[in-house]
Amino acid sequence: MAKPLVAILMGSDSDYDYMVEACKSLEKLGVSYDVLVSSAHRTPEKTQKYVRSAKKRGIKVFIAGAGGAAHLAGVIAAETILPVIGVPIPSTSLNGLDSILAIGQMPGGIPVATMATGKAGAKNAGLLAAQILGVSDAALSSKLLKYKKDMAKEVDKKDARLREAHAKNYPNK
């Protein structure tokens, strides 16, 4: 098993339904990763230890998913100079607006790469982590290019199917 390059942390196991999309992106691109539940608030020491030891274990990029007053990504970014990607989980009554702002409005000096809310954001977190690694990994870069082309083809297929179905229901157009 390859040493993980990307660390995916989530503040609660209830975030998994979203964060598994980040895992899937990385699986698809063949990027090894580590996934764990560790909270900025409930397990600060565990989070801190994990982050401080990550670089020497080979981690290159962090992904952190959390909801509400989502501090996980910021707490990780405070402890590392590796890129940190934040995924706003829309788990509270405010549907993730709180999560977007709590992750995204970081002060100068401590960047967090904020994604969209929910599954799309988690999926993109995996892709961005791969893009970051792809900056110095030509093979991964090629995989990303192929992924992008496949995505376009997928849209084309859906387009064809939709046009056909539409024409059936609206034949006289």
Q: Which of 7, 54, 64, 106 binds a second copy (CB under 8 A)?
A: 106
Q: What's the distance, Cα to Cα, between the start and end of the chain in Å?
A: 56
Of 6-35, binders to a second copy (CB under 8 A) are 11-13, 16, 20-21, 23, 27, 32-33, 35
Contacts of 3 by beta carbon, 8 Å cutoff, 6+ apart? 32, 57, 58
Q: Among 54, 64, 65, 98, which residue interacts with a second copy (rule: CB under 8 A)?
A: 98
* Min dist. Cβ of residue 160 to a second copy (A): 9
Nearer to a second copy, 57 or 163 (CB): 163
Beta bridge partners of 138: none
Give the Cα-Cα-Cα angle 45, 47, 53 (nearest 5 degrees): 100
Interface pick for a second copy out of 28, 57, 109, 139 (rule CB under 8 A): 109
Q: Is 118 in the site for a second copy (CB under 8 A)?
A: yes
Instruction: Choose which of 7, 17, 158, 168 interacts with a second copy (CB under 8 A).
Output: 158
Minimum CB–partner distance for residue 100 and a second copy (Å)? 6
* 131 to 150: interface string for a second copy, x by CB under 8 A: xxxxxx----x--xx-xx--
Give CA–CA dist 65/148, Å, rounded.
24
DSSP track, 22-88: HHHHHHHHT--EEEEE--TTT-HHHHHHHHHHHTTTT--EEEEEEESS--HHHHHHTT-SS-EEEEE
> Which residues, other chains included, contact 125 with Cβ-Cβ below 8 Å and sequence gap of 6+?
8, 22, 25, 63, 65, 85, 86, 87, 115
**What does each C-alpha distance from 129 to 48, 68, 118 come to in angstroms?**
21, 23, 17
Q: Which is nearer to a second copy, 53 or 111 (CB)?
A: 111
- Chain residues 42-81 in contact with a second copy, contact rule CB under 8 A: 42-46, 60-61, 67-71, 74-75, 77-79, 81
Residue 139 C-beta: closest distance to a second copy, Å: 13
Cβ of residue 158: shortest distance to a second copy, in angstroms?
4
